[in-house]
Amino acid sequence: HGDYASSFPLKLARATGVNPLAIANDMVGLIVPGPEIASIAVAPPGFINFTLKSDWLTRQVNSILEAGDSYGDIELGQGSRVQLEFVSVNPTGPLHVGHGRGAILGSTLTHVLTAAGYRVEKEYYINDAGSQVDAFAHSLYTRYQQCLGVDAEMPTDGYLGNYMVDLAKEVIAEEGDRFLALPEQEAISQLRQLGLEKIIKQLKSDLELLGVSFDVWFSEQSLYDKEQYQRAMSLLRQGGYITEKENATWFISTALGEDKDNV
pLDDT at 159: 97
The SS3 assignment for 202 reads: helix
pLDDT at 123: 99
Ordered per-residue pLDDT tens for the chain, 263 residues: 799 999 999 999 999 999 999 999 999 999 999 999 999 999 999 999 999 999 999 999 999 999 999 999 999 999 999 999 999 999 999 999 999 999 999 999 999 999 999 999 999 999 999 999 999 999 999 999 999 999 999 999 999 999 999 999 999 999 999 999 999 999 999 999 999 999 999 999 999 999 999 999 999 999 999 999 999 999 999 999 999 999 999 999 999 999 999 99
Beta strand 216-219 pairing with 119-126: parallel
CB 9 within 8 A of CB 20: yes
∠ CA 139-170-140, rounded to 5°:
5
pLDDT at 1: 79
CB 208 within 8 A of CB 107: no
Residue 188's Cβ-count burial label (10 Å; 0-12, 13-18, 19+) is: buried
Q: In Å, what is the CA distance from 70 to each residue of 64, 76, 114, 144?
A: 9, 14, 11, 52
Domain boundaries, the chain: 4-59, 72-128+210-222, 131-209
Q: Tell me, what amino acid is at 3?
A: D
- HSE at residue 165, side-chain half, CA atoms within 13 A, is 6
pLDDT at 77: 96
Q: In Å, what is the CA distance from 162 to each residue of 140, 169, 219?
A: 11, 11, 26
Beta-strand ranges (E) seen in the chain are: 4-6, 37-43, 47-52, 81-85, 119-126, 216-219, 242-245, 248-251
List 249's β-bridge partners, or say none. 244
Q: In Å, what is the CA distance from 175 to each residue of 44, 142, 163, 171, 197?
A: 73, 16, 18, 6, 14
pTM of the full structure: 0.77
Residue 149's Cβ-count burial label (10 Å; 0-12, 13-18, 19+) is: exposed
